[in-house]
Amino acid sequence: MKKVWEENIRKVVPYTPGEQPCQPDMIKLNTNENPYPPSPRADEALKKINTDTMRLYPDPTAGDLVNAIAKVYGLREDQVFVGVGSDDVLAMSFLTFFNSKKPILFPDITYSFYDVWAELFQIPYERPELDENFCIRKEDYFRENGGVIFPNPNAPTGIALPLCEIEEIIQKNQDVVVILDEAYVDFGAESALPLIEKYENLLVVQTFSKSRSMAGMRIGFACGNPVLIKYLNDVKYSFNSYTMDRTAIAAGAAAVQDIEYFKETCQKIIKTREWVKEELRSLGFTCTDSKANFLFASHKDCPARELFSALREAHIYVRYFPGGRTGDYLRITIGTEQEMEKFLFFLREYLAKSGKRCI
């Protein structure tokens, strides 16, 4: 029996993050982290931090970080908002921009945090189905709605929508805010950032967690028209003024300026991804054409759940989303070349032993 005091409590079904196991020999390919260290400039910046400054609140505007991001992307500071990872930026954006009685739209298969925020903030939503190839059908977003959000490339499929189709979606939705979640855009898709000058209702969200190897530091940002950014800041300051701590501001501002290192590590991951994709195909897998730092793969004879468990026992962690159309697939983060060699070696042996290896 529920206690009376429990009746008026806000009840939510939370998002389930990927597990963070901790074994010395593990190969961790389950949460799309970057296998390479962050820019050495982050290290230098952290070493310069004076512990005594911890007494003092950080800069509520996170000015140094906002300024550095703006410079790198050729924007003005009033076009940039920063938060504690893009999860924080996205949560604030849902709260700020999705305040209509009409449903917001996002794909049925996508980042599984969107429906959690929609439920938490009591935003009505509809989820148009991806097509038979796991692609977003732009026409599904041409109907009346209270806002649009989707990742590009999409998660967990890795499939990117061409920029011209994205622009069509924005064009057809100029009465609502359109949010593009570009968590994986640096691994080979085309960013919609240049479009923020043309469409005042477009917000582009990115993160330092994947392409900048800083998931543990929690830095995300949004770029858009100054009016959008102002509304976002108004909500942020009504919630928590000091979201970014001193270390995140310093490390983030230093790291983002190291463009050469960033390009080099992204290229390494892209190269490894394309190689692993070919290897998996030769083992009987089908993979989507992922432009992210992960692959979405299904084996014709071996159920994904079985592979997931077998890999796990070998301390190789990948992500599995049971049920529905994703239940046939594994989401495999791209690690270092050596990690992926070991991963492929295990699969080769396993499929051969269970008689499922395609020759």
Ligand X SMILES: *Cc1c(COP(=O)(O)O)cnc(C)c1O
Residues near ligand X (CB under 6 A) are: 32, 85-87, 111, 151, 155, 181, 183, 207, 209, 215, 220
Task: Give the DSSP letter string of 250-305.
Answer: HHHHHHHT-HHHHHHHHHHHHHHHHHHHHHHHHTTEEE----SSEEEEEESSS-HH
**C-alpha distance across the termini of the chain, in Å:** 59
Residue 280 amino acid letter: L
226 in Cβ contact with 197 (< 8 Å): no
Task: Name the nearest CA neighbour of 222 among 186, 256, 254, 193.
Answer: 193
- Report, in Å, the least distance between residue 133 CB and ligand X: 19
Q: Which is nearer to ligand X, 239 or 345 (CB)?
A: 239
Q: Which is nearer to ligand X, 69 or 302 (CB)?
A: 69
93 in Cβ contact with 179 (< 8 Å): yes
Q: Which is nearer to ligand X, 277 or 331 (CB)?
A: 331
- Report, in Å, the least distance between residue 212 CB and ligand X: 10
Residue of closest CB approach to ligand X: 85
Q: Which is nearer to ligand X, 119 or 341 (CB)?
A: 119
- Report, in Å, the least distance between residue 14 CB and ligand X: 15
Q: Which is nearer to ligand X, 276 or 292 (CB)?
A: 292
- Report, in Å, the least distance between residue 184 CB and ligand X: 7
- Report, in Å, the least distance between residue 121 CB and ligand X: 17
Q: Which is nearer to ligand X, 90 or 229 (CB)?
A: 90
- Report, in Å, the least distance between residue 215 CB and ligand X: 5
Neighbours of 124 (CB within 10 A): 13
| Spatial distance between the Cα atoms of 244 and 62, rounded to a whole number of angstroms | 6
Q: What is the SS3 assignment for 319? A: strand
| β-strand pairing of 220-224 with 319-320 | unpaired
